[in-house]
Amino acid sequence: MILRRFVNIVAENLKGRYSLHRLGVSKHLFYPSTAEAKAAAAKAAGKNGNAGFRAPPTRRLKRLPPPCINFHPSPSILSDRATLEIFALLCPSSSEGRVLCCGDSGRSLIYNADSHFVQTMPSIQGLKGRRPITISTGRPGDLEDLYVLTAGADFSCFHVLRFGGKDRAVHRPWERKAWHWDSLPLPPFNDAISSYTVVDGGRTICVSSEPNGFGTYCFDTVEREWWQVGDWVLPFEGRAEYVPNFKIWLGISSGRPYHLCATSDLSDMKQPPTLQHVLPHLNTPKNWLLSRANLISLGEGKFCVAKVFHEGVDSTGDEPEDSDSPGMEIIGSVFTALSGVELVTSGSSGDELGGLQVHKSVRYMFMEDMIQWEL
């Protein structure tokens, strides 16, 4: 995977228009070296009297970088309020600038933020639901396929965007290749998806529900078949990323205080995975209530952790757990915290995880626009 220079941020303003911004990771999220990051962390720990974990201070990001493009969804004959439901990075292992955009009508396009070109794409037939999950995976050396999945009691859809011939099972060297949307077998469950990742070198997609839901299902991207692997669930919130250097899956823990966590147990799907590492990266006050979390791989063991928080107070006097807790009232602002973190090695072999090095964190307050996607 390439070492990325930017985190792509999609914001929506009060008029329902969207803009793409590129946040420089070397300027806002990372120090020039791991040594400088360690020095900053040691300074923060000293101010805390070395009493437990203390992240470096979170700096306020007053404004997003200038937009490189703006998007205006086209209303349909059924509604004046059109929305854009998908923003995803296409082929992230080889490019950090190809951004796929899809509206609720199914129309789609690709904007290349590096070359500033727009490419029209085939429409998705039967796109349903809000904010489907997107999973990029494929064989080494090929352009990755992009899977788009929504599951719910009243709607489900499953599609893949792939580059190739019309028939994926037959290789014809002379055949013209292009991007296609293929419809896939619908998921055999009706609950919302809480966490997801890929295993088997990218061949298998795994998705989990909340603890009292359908459990964990897998989808074979070659045979295009679903099966249930257990009633247990993945211990993550949202996306988990496989880190081949350490042979672990890294994600955001599904419970407060939502630290990063890692496991190496997903190769055997016959039993619930056990977390081997819990990795704090951000000091979170009790009144910061998590609304959404995302993990973006930047290459070479570096990641951006994006979390959207509400400020709130619990009128019952209990310690707040999340924004759905009884008596919880949202009283303050909504903001995104973005943290740059790096996995560090331990031992002479260089493939053993020694911990997490936190670099920088920034906080962006939602005023006239709200961050909706981090890519």
Q: Of 222, 240, 255, which Cα lies nearest the Cα of 145?
A: 222
Q: Which architecture characterizes domain 6-374 according to CATH? A: 7 Propeller (2.130)
d(CA 339, CA 316): 32
d(CA 33, CA 147): 35
Structure tokens at 28: 């806002």
d(CA 180, CA 361): 39
d(CA 372, CA 64): 13
Whole-number pLDDT of residue 142: 72
Structure tokens at 104: 């609720």
Whole-number pLDDT of residue 314: 62
335 phi/psi in degrees, rounded to 5 = -155, 165
Whole-number pLDDT of residue 287: 82
How confident is the prediction along the chain (375 residues), in pLDDT tens digits per residue? Answer: 789 999 999 999 988 899 999 999 999 999 999 999 999 888 877 766 555 666 778 899 999 999 999 999 877 666 666 788 999 999 888 889 999 999 888 899 999 999 999 999 999 987 777 789 999 998 666 778 999 999 876 788 999 999 887 766 556 666 678 899 999 999 999 888 999 999 998 999 999 998 888 999 999 999 999 999 999 999 999 999 999 999 999 999 988 888 999 999 887 777 888 898 999 988 888 888 888 999 999 999 999 999 999 887 766 655 555 545 555 565 667 899 999 999 999 866 667 888 999 999 999 999 889 999 999
Whole-number pLDDT of residue 232: 94
- Provide the residue ranges of all domains of the chain, joining segments of one domain with +: 6-374
Degrees to nearest 5, angle at CA 306 with 304 and 308: 170
Q: Which residues contact 281 (CB under 8 A, 6 or more apart)?
A: 55, 259, 260, 305, 339, 341, 356, 358
d(CA 370, CA 372): 6
